Each structure stands twice: as structure tokens, then as C-alpha cells.
Amino acid sequence: MRIVETELIKKAVKEAVKTANTRLPVDVLTSLEKARDNETVPHARQVLDILLQNAHQAQTENMPLCQDTGLVTVHVQLGQEVALTGGSLYEAINQGIGEGYTEGYFRASMVKDPFERVNTGDNTPAVVHLEMIAGDKVIITVFPKGAGSENMGRTIMLKPADGWEGARRFVVDTVRIANANPCPPIIVGVGVGGNLEKACLLAKKALLRPIDQPHPDRRIAAREAQLLQDINKLGIGPQGMGGDTTALAVTMEVYPTHIASLPVAVSLNCHSARRAVVTV
Ligand code: SF4
């Protein structure tokens, strides 16, 4: 058994939120550069250039990539051979977020009660997902996500007879309805299978995968490629101003489901697709 102090988790989360909010992951940056180079519509290319400039400036000046520094989802993969000591894991995560957001001067966007809407002041609490894995490590993925893209997510319980074509229509319609709201070029996370909540979690999990890595199952990778092509044919373009680049990537995760169900969930992420992974 490896003993891990929750203080270490707090420190790791604190640094991760600072990194995530100021540095775009390399795969996203590279994909934006490729999109800019391949974009055939001049004003769309110009918008992509501005987004790249923004990303470089954020990194150089240690400034947030976007004013909406998001609700933070934290995915914790906890090794079965780890014994946590020194207090609650959830408290440590939230302390790390509170300190990171305060020190980084990042916007606090969380309200305590969805109806009373009083700001909690330090962007806590996070939404935490815990997964047990083999080994003695704790892998933490910090995923701040703005409301512009989050608000455009959708889920549906299709009939099995709707099949792949039904799922495909739903994903493309979701992007069409979202239009400029999620700040394109977007990343489209798709979750298929399980039940209502599992499909949503799969869509979110899909967004954690580096976008230069297609799904390891070739059949799923082919569906991702097909969806990306469909979506980019919509012509919404960077920031909704028209162009070839509506989405940078589609990432999909699937899970077994009930004989009478076909749950599909779509989570959209904006061009400011922030994430940071730390291992404790
Ligand atoms: S959707 Fe993304 S880029 Fe647009 S305002 Fe929200 S966080 Fe910023």
C-alpha cells in the first residue's frame, strides 16, 4: 500500500488549474494551427490566427485563455494500492481549486444555489468523478469548461431501431442548433450506450482524450471521422462567421447498453479546450 497525503493532491490540483487556464494543450494548439493552414475562407483563417495569437499571449503572459474560466470537473483515477491520509479527498480538491483560482486571479463562476445564485467566491465546488484503477498512482485530470459550450450539450434516449444513422443525425443537429454559441472551432464529445447518466459521462470522458488520438477501435474511429466530416460541412466556421473549420475533432466513447435502449449524449467543447493532467 502506498500512503498519499491529501495535501499533495491539493497542491497538484492548485498547480493544474493554473496550467489548464493559461496553457492550451499541445494537441489542441497543433490542431488549431493545422486548421488555420488548411482553411480556405480568408476571414475564417484570420479568426483562427487571432485564436492562436490569444493562446500564445495567454501562455507568455500567464493570463487566462478566456474570461470564462469555467466550472472545473476533476476526474480522479485512484490506484487501488493507494491509501489516502490527512483528510477528505473532496476537500483537498476543492481547496486546491479555491487557492489556484484566487492566486491566478481567475474568474469565480460558481453560484451556491442554482436559484438564489450567490457566488461562492473561489470557483468551488468542483464536479468530481472518481474511478478506481490498478496500481499505486493517483492520476488527476483537471478540466475547466466554460458555460458557452457546456450549455449547448444535449442527450437523447433513441430507439435501437434508430441505429447509427439516428445517432449521427442527433450529433450533427446538436452542432447545428449550437451554431456560434460554443465558440467554434469546437471539439465534439459523443457518448453512446449505458443508460442516461452513463452516456453523459462518456461524452465528457471523450473530451478528455487528446484530439490527435483517434479511438483505438477502428470502427469507432471511422464513425468519429464521418461525424467530423458531416459537422464541417455545416459551414458554421470559426466563431460562427462561416468557413471550413466548425470542429477540430470528434471523439466518441461507447459502452454496452440495454436491448431496448440507445442513449446518445453530446458534449461540446470550445476552442479554449483546457485540460491538465497530473500524476501523484
Ligand atoms: S465557450 Fe469557451 S471560448 Fe467561449 S466564452 Fe466560454 S470558455 Fe470562452
Q: Is residue 161 part of a domain?
A: yes
16 and 116 within one domain:
yes
For residue 118, what pLDDT is reported?
98
131 and 11 within one domain:
yes
218 and 249 within one domain:
yes
141 and 73 within one domain:
yes
Rounded to the nearest 5 degrees, what angle is found at the Cα of 149, between the Cα atoms of 143 and 151? 110
Q: Is residue 254 part of a domain?
A: yes
Q: Is the dihedral of CA 200, 142, 223, 250 positive or negative?
A: positive
What distance in angstroms lies between residue 184's CA and the mean position of ligand 1's atoms? 9
9 and 127 within one domain:
yes
Q: Is residue 70 part of a domain?
A: yes
Q: Write out the chain's pLDDT in tens, 280 residues.
A: 999 999 999 999 999 999 999 999 999 999 999 999 999 999 999 999 999 999 999 999 999 999 999 999 999 999 999 999 999 999 999 999 999 999 999 999 999 999 999 999 999 999 999 999 999 999 999 999 999 999 999 999 999 999 999 999 999 999 999 999 999 999 999 999 999 999 999 999 999 999 999 999 999 999 999 999 999 999 999 999 999 999 999 999 999 999 999 999 999 999 999 999 999 9
191 and 121 within one domain:
no
**Number of folded domains that form the chain:** 2
Mutate to test the pocket of ligand 1, among 22, 28, 67, 68 (most ligand atoms within 8 A of CB): 68
Q: Is the CB of 149 under 6 A from ligand 1?
A: yes
**What one-character DSSP code corresponds to residue 39?**
-
169 and 134 within one domain:
no
226 and 245 within one domain:
yes
234 and 133 within one domain:
no
**What one-character DSSP code corresponds to residue 108?**
P
88 and 174 within one domain:
no
Mutate to test the pocket of ligand 1, among 66, 72, 267 (most ligand atoms within 8 A of CB): 66
Which of 145, 166, 200 represents a domain boundary (last residue)?
Answer: 145
Q: Is residue 44 part of a domain?
A: no
Which of 96, 127, 145 represents a domain boundary (last residue)?
Answer: 145
Which of 114, 145, 176 represents a domain boundary (last residue)?
Answer: 145
**What is the domain extent for residue 6?**
2-21+65-145
What distance in angstroms lies between residue 69's CA and the mean position of ligand 1's atoms? 8
CATH for 200: 3.30.1330
Q: Is the CB of 66 under 6 A from ligand 1?
A: yes
Q: Is residue 48 part of a domain?
A: no
For residue 217, what pLDDT is reported?
98
207 and 79 within one domain:
no
182 and 207 within one domain:
yes
Closest-CA residue, ligand 1 atom 7, reads 146
For residue 251, what pLDDT is reported?
98
